[in-house]
Structure formats: C-alpha cells, structure tokens
Amino acid sequence: MTHTRSLTTVSRRRVVAGVGAAAAGGLAGCLGGDPGDGSTSAGDGTNAATTADESAIGDASDASATVGMIYALGGLDDRSFNDAANRGIQRARLDHDVAFANEEPSAFPELRSTQASLSESNDPDYDLICCVGFLQADGLSAVASEHPDQRYAIVDSAVDRDNVASYVFREHEGSFQAGHLAGLVTGRDVSVGAGSTVPDERTVGFVGGVESDLVRKFEAGYRAGVDHAAADASTLATYVGAFDDPESGYAAAAEMYDQGADVVYHAGGGSGLGVFQAAQEYGRYAIGVDSDQSRSNPRYADVILASMVKRVGTAVYDAAERTIDGDLGTGETAALGLAEDGVALVYGTSLGPVIPDDVRAAIAASGDRIVAGDLSVPSDPEELN
C-alpha cells in the first residue's frame, strides 16, 4: 500500500558556510560522465547481449565479462534511475563486449532472491552481479557473505563486504543546486514554456518516493539550496511511499501547486512522472532527477527547468570495466559528488536556454564554493530545523 505523508511547510534557515573538507575537482554543474545523460530512455528491451526475455545470457563465451544487472523496484523504462544504469551497461557492451542479463524484481522480497539466484548460477557463471538501488543493500549483505567468491557491485548504497564494490553519491550537493535554482525562480515573475510563477507566494515543493535516509539527502540539499537563494521562501515536502506510482506523484505535486508552489523537485523515480503531469496541468515548473528528464520525457520539456543528474551509468560502467581489468574495488566505497562530477544540475532542453545568465552564474558560484569546501550542505533535513 502507498502511504502519503501530509504536506509540511518547512521553516527557513540559512545554510552556514563551513570549512568541511572537499576534494578539488571539476566545475559544478558541468556536463559529461554518465553516458547518455542527454539521450532518450534506453529501457526499451533492446539488448543484443541477452535473450529475448532479458532473463538470461545466451552464448557469452566470447564476452569479456558476464554481468547480471538487478534493477531497482520500478524496473526499466522509468526514464530516470534504472534507465541511467542500463545506459551504463549498454555502453560497456559496446565498448568492451560485455554480455549482460537484465533482472527487474517487482517486489522487495524478490531483490534478495534474485541476488541469490544469480549468485548460484553456473550457466552463465557471472563475473559481476550489479545491484542497482539502496533497497538492495540488506539482501546483498547477506547474499555476499554466503557467496564469498562472487564479485558484486552496488550502486547507491554501501555494503561492508570484502567482495562488494560500493558506489554512493553526494545527492545533497546536486540537490542544493536544484534548490538554489528553485529559490531564484520563485522570487521572479517568470512566464516561459508552458508554465509561469506566482512570485508573491515564494513557495516551492519537494516530492520524494520511499522515505529513507538516502532520499532525505535529496530533500535536505534541496531545502538548503532554496534557503541559500531566498531565506523567506517556503518549501513543501512530502513522500508518496513508492518509486513507481505516478498517480500519487501527481496528487502530491497538484496539492503543492494548489498551495502556490512555483517549482516542484522530485526524487521519486517513476512516481515523478506524475509531478511533470501536474506541472503541465497547473502551468508551473518542475525539476527532474537522476537523468536529464527533459530529454527522456520530451513531452514535459516545456515545464522541466532542469534535472539533478546522478552519474549512475558511470558507476555501472566503471564496475564493469574494472571487473574486466581485474581491479574492481571490492571492500571499498566510492563517493561521487560535485567535485567528481558524480552529480550535476543539467538545464532543460527547452527552458534551459531562457534561464537568465545571472541565475546560471549564481548557481555556478555556489557549486564552486561547495567543491572548494567553503559552503557546507546538510545531508539530513533535521539539520535545517
């Protein structure tokens, strides 16, 4: 059952500039990294390395490596998180002749059973089992300990096992930039594309999928970015309880737009499609997540200001490539943020060109400060209360 938390208006706080350590790296907000962030959805069932039902690899004797892909709940064609992961393994197939099978569990208990099934497989004997999504962590912790000779990677969580390579993201950093954009937009009289603002309201929104520590990082960074741009703006926040429920995403966003929200940012996977639908119907704006959703969902490009992309495909590609090279970082966790170009704010294809230069400059400047360690971003909403 899907549970919707009541909307809450969050009190405003300024982000405190800190001196936390951060590695120097690429300019925040730049493009690159994840293959296909600027492409349409790859979750169309087209995969020369798998059988027709994508449940097993056929003759992979000539492959450089065999990879079992276990996707997050919601499956492929979410035009967001899972599709970004699929683009990574598709690129590994093209670049390195990797053979892979796609597994799409439909319920939480199936995550662990699928991990176990692939681990016990002899035909094929997987060189790597790649688990996409934080909900796979508990199951993988147990399964990996039961199969110490099997190599695994998990994307979007960390599992403390010697045979697991973990990839996590500093989502709060990219979400800060999304919030910074929303906070700057809500204070202006904007009418472009299919949307417009109600500048007197100075209200924005956040719609999450399953409430968890990870998704709350999106909320925390977003709220902090809004505060950074407009201390007197209000942020409405709710969780719909699922990553594959567009109807609940629509209902949550519609309520926010009814309350005067100009922009709603979602971290809800497939549920976020409902946010875009509501934005069009109400004539407001939205910010996508994980992939450039103005490209993967072009029918909503006229209301998508930007997307906070996570280079999920890059993590998958890196794991596959390192498996081939024999240097997969098992027992280690790679953390990817703005400095590593693991997350970035990508402006929408239709609305990006009309975002004012001063707004772009302000967002680029805050990104530089985050990378330099001069601006700290909270990873828990409680830090803002």
Cβ neighbours for 263, distance < 8 A, ≥ 6 positions apart:
181, 182, 185, 186, 197, 204, 205, 284, 285, 286, 287, 305
Predicted confidence at residue 62, as pLDDT, reads 84
Q: What CA–CA distance (Å, rounded) separates 110 from 112?
A: 6
- b/e per residue, 202-233, with b = 16+ CB within 10 A? bbbbbbbbbbeebbbbbbbbbbbbbbbbbeeb
Average pLDDT over the chain, rounded to an integer: 86
Q: Tell me the average pLDDT across 281-290.
A: 96
Q: Tens digit of pLDDT for each residue in 174-187?
A: 999 999 999 999 98
The closest alpha carbon to 305, from 360, 358, 253, belongs to 360
* pTM of the predicted protein model: 0.77
pLDDT-based confidence at residue 58 (cuts at 50, 70, 90):
low
Cα dihedral 319→314→239→251 (10° resolution): -130
**Confidence grade of residue 351 (pLDDT, cut at 50, 70, 90):** very high
Residue 153 scores a pLDDT above 70: yes
pLDDT digits (tens, 9 = 90+) for 17-56: 222 222 222 222 222 234 344 433 323 333 333 333 444 4
Across 114-134, average pLDDT: 96
* pLDDT score, position 213: 93
